[in-house]
Amino acid sequence: MNPIHNAFVHVFPLGFSIIIIPVYSDNYTYLILQGTEATAVDPGDANAVQGELKRRGVSLTHILCTHHHFDHVGGVSSLKSATGCTVIGPVDRRIPSLDQGLSEGDRLTVGSFMAEAVSVPGHTKTHLVYHFPSANVLFSGDCLFLGGCGRIFEGTAAEMYASLKKLASLPDDTLIFCGHEYTEENLRFACSLEPENAAVSSRLRKVGGLRRKSLPSVPGTLWEEKLTNPFLRVHEQTLRSALRMEGAADWEVFGAIRRLKDRY
């Protein structure tokens, strides 16, 4: 990834690129580029997206929304008005200018790629993520972060854990493009839970180096998450012992970790 005009580019050998656009204090909006067409994922700031479209000489054809929070959809209506693009997201009237509502398992075509909508309630009731299987890419919104997960606002701990478990079943080499740059803080928290986990310590050093250069930590692989993300490691006995929850159900361990993170 190389910095270009306050955005970052991840190039794939399959003929497309993902532009990482930092917006607000720690959000990420993404542009999927194929040829002269672009799809925006969670455009919280219309001006930032418009600037990239103009800079690269591409037209916006679609918007993919993961959930209704303003920092993810704040630019949707303006972009829809300016470009006439198709707005796609969960079936939720809180998604502005929605043209096409999706549910679990629905498929859509983005350029020459097929994407599948995966329902992941917990952060919000209707949260969706978008998996591109042929590209090994997941846009995970505020469900799965690198090193962490989203707060539970509209669901339960059991629902959120079930959502994360569903994502954990994807291929290990899946690249995760999440909604926020929380990775360094998440890994510090992970270190506090598993101080002897060498994978966490190593990843924290790597991410710290990136952030000191103002580079994004995204994307990361699902395999890295399984080694370092405590919310995907609730089955590990060392973690359970540290929490004194050896005999608890997985979702109960998850809930305890989420409560600790909320106070961290």
Task: Provide the residue ranges of all domains of the chain, joining segments of one domain with +.
Answer: 3-262
Q: Which one from 62, 71, 127, 131 is the annotated catalytic residue?
A: 71
Return all residues near 81 (Cβ < 8 A) that are at least 6 apart: none
Q: Which one from 10, 62, 68, 123 is the annotated catalytic residue?
A: 123
Interstrand relation of 128-132 and 113-119 (parallel, antiparallel or unpaired):
antiparallel
67: annotated active-site residue: yes
Q: Which one from 10, 69, 127, 131 is the annotated catalytic residue?
A: 69
Which position has the token pair 């962490």? 148
Per-residue pLDDT of the chain (264 residues; tens, 9 = 90+): 333 446 899 999 888 999 999 999 999 999 999 999 999 999 999 999 999 999 999 999 999 999 999 999 999 999 999 999 999 999 999 999 999 999 999 999 988 899 999 999 999 999 999 999 999 999 999 999 999 999 999 999 999 999 999 999 999 999 999 999 999 999 999 999 999 999 999 999 999 999 999 999 999 999 999 999 999 999 999 999 999 999 999 999 999 999 999 999
CA distance 33 to 72: 19
pTM: 0.96
68: annotated active-site residue: no
**DSSP code of residue 15:** T
**Are 144 and 66 in contact, with CB atoms under 8 Å apart?**
no
CA distance 32 to 20: 9
Q: Which one from 42, 62, 68, 142 is the annotated catalytic residue?
A: 142
Compute how many other C-beta atoms are within 10 angstroms of the C-beta atom of residue 55.
13
Kindly report whether the peptide bond that precedes residue 43 is cis, defined as omega within 30 degrees of 0.
Answer: no
Bridge partners (DSSP) of residue 132 are 137
Residue 107 φ/ψ, nearest 5 degrees: -115, 150
Q: Which one from 10, 62, 68, 72 is the annotated catalytic residue?
A: 72
Confidence at residue 6, expressed as pLDDT on a 0 to 100 scale: 66
Confidence at residue 213, expressed as pLDDT on a 0 to 100 scale: 96
142: annotated active-site residue: yes
Return all residues near 60 (Cβ < 8 A) that are at least 6 apart: 37, 38, 39, 40, 49, 53, 79, 83, 85
Compute how many other C-beta atoms are within 10 angstroms of the C-beta atom of residue 132.
22
Which position has the token pair 């000489």? 57
72: annotated active-site residue: yes
71: annotated active-site residue: yes
**Are 54 and 23 in contact, with CB atoms under 8 Å apart?**
no
CATH of domain 3-262: 3.60.15.10
No. of helices (H) and no. of strands (E), the chain: 9, 16
Q: What is the biggest distance separating any 2 CA atoms in the chain, rounded to whole angstroms?
A: 57
Q: Which one from 67, 68, 127, 131 is the annotated catalytic residue?
A: 67
**DSSP code of residue 95:** S
